[in-house]
Amino acid sequence: MSVRVRFAPSPTGGLHIGGVRTALYNYLFARKHNGTFILRIEDTDQTRFVEGAEEYILNSLAWCGITFDEGVFNGGPHAPYRQSERKDIYRIYAQKLIETGAAYYAFDTPEDLDEMRTRLEASGVKSPQYNSVTRMAMKNSITMSGSEVEEKIASGFPHVIRLKVPRKEEIRFYDEVRGWVSINSSQVDDKVLMKSDGMPTYHMANVVDDYLMQITHVIRGEEWLSSTPLHVLLYRAFGWEEQRPKFAHLPLILKPEGTGKLSKRDGDKFPQFPLEWTDAEGKTFKGFRELGYLPEALINFLALLGWNPGHDEEVMDINRLIEAFSIERIGKSGTKFDLQKATWFNEVYLRNKPDTELLPEFNETLKKAGIFSFPEAYLIKVISLLKDRISFENELFSFGKYFFITPEEYDAEMVAKHWNPDHKGWLKQYHDVLDQVTDWNTEEIENTLKKLAETLGMKSGKMMPVLRLVFTGVSFGPAAIQIAETIGKPETLKRITQALNRLP
């Protein structure tokens, strides 16, 4: 059977960066094997539904370049792909489990369940469960007569459908990342499969949908490992063991300090969302996009959080990642969310990006700042001078304002370090000899400075920091001669004159 994988997020909030990594691994695996990648929305818990979350998920994945072959937004042969629209399907399959005795009706009220837990805790049970032992003292179709059950259902009495988990049976399955996993069924309670509102639980819908959509590999986060024994039991109860997908549970992404799982609650400390997200309380978290990360850099960074290609190559575009990806090289241990490494990737991709591709966003930034009059060739020149000195695309203007605006102030620390009144003499002479330059280019500008330095018995290298201060007002940026060549002769002379008048 050809590879079929799915990414199945719940629209309960912003798509966390860990979810993006899960989607990415599924995408890489599908593309590597010429398979099919499905987007399914798992919204069975309507109480946690967040308006706008579905659209946010789609927009985030689209920005990252992760595309789907089938799914909730583009359809396919297994539609609908939104679980809330598949209720009738789950009801049919739940009824099949009732008929085979693999599941049963339970009519226990919340008070009944509380009383059971209280009774068990009083007898020393630390984690009370509704299971093969306790079910015999509860109100369900196992302990009640057939007529009582029919009467309850006919009267509309609230009830759920629970899986009848066998007692003391070893449940074994193979995980493609962790190897063989074994757990005793005594640790698995009789999970609710269909809730009293007619909606399936995650477990029921997940297994039925994976079977009907012919999913061959379930690649998901480590947090779902504990649910897998229950899913294995469900596949067996339905008689679908031969069609059961292979499981691969991904390692945790840890906080930058390396301790504890990366949590949405830390979203104000470091970015964890691909795009800006505003939660239900109105708190806004900046996304990687808004902070200036390039999507291809973020994808490269995420791919290596838990997987390694088996060689020292780190910078890999999406085609190279697809070619190199394999489940076998996914690690078991958690991986630190190293934001400095993410920034390094961004710097690499930024430097390798053609200047013309950075032009549209740079143009928009300038327009927002009220700057409109510079030609495209000038903007491209500025980009080429700055992009090797910044970490993010959105720093082009903040780091290079002096290419567009004559500095009104001078960095105090820079002034204290590099300026003294004696500089005014040679600076005035440099202004005058520059005024005679007819061929305005870096070679002529630099040669003029060197000749002046030689005449005055100075070193031109000692003059450069002063010129940088005069031209930019700050301590960073390209070489002073490059800045002068770019801003042009009139502006260069203007800035020297201004500095002579304003600096002490």
Per-residue DSSP letters for 399-464?
A: H-GGGTS--SS--HHHHHHH--TTHHHHHHHHHHHHTT--S-SHHHHHHHHHHHHHHHT--HHHHH
Q: What structural domains does the chain harbor? A: 4-72+205-254 (3.40.50.620), 87-204 (3.90.800.10), 353-403 (1.10.8), 412-502 (1.10.10.350)
pLDDT tens for residues 84-93? 999 999 999 9
Q: Are 57 and 9 in contact (CB under 8 A)?
A: yes
pLDDT tens for residues 453-470? 999 999 999 999 999 999
Catalytic positions: 264
**pLDDT at position 410 over 90:** yes
pLDDT tens for residues 276-293? 999 888 899 999 999 999
Q: Point out the least confidently predicted range of 256-265, 355-364, 408-417, 488-497.
A: 256-265
**pLDDT at position 331 over 90:** yes
pLDDT at 476: 86
Residue with tokens 């998901």, as numbered in its chain: 220
pLDDT at 332: 93
CB atoms within 10 A of CB 5: 26
**pLDDT at position 48 over 90:** no
pTM higher than 0.85, yes or no? yes
**pLDDT at position 265 over 90:** no
Helices (H) and strands (E) in the chain, counts: 20, 14
**pLDDT at position 318 over 90:** yes
pLDDT tens for residues 197-233? 999 999 999 999 999 999 999 999 999 999 999 999 9
Q: How confident is the model at residue 195 (pLDDT cuts 50, 70, 90)?
A: very high
pLDDT tens for residues 87-144? 999 999 999 999 999 999 999 999 999 999 999 999 999 889 999 999 999 999 999 9
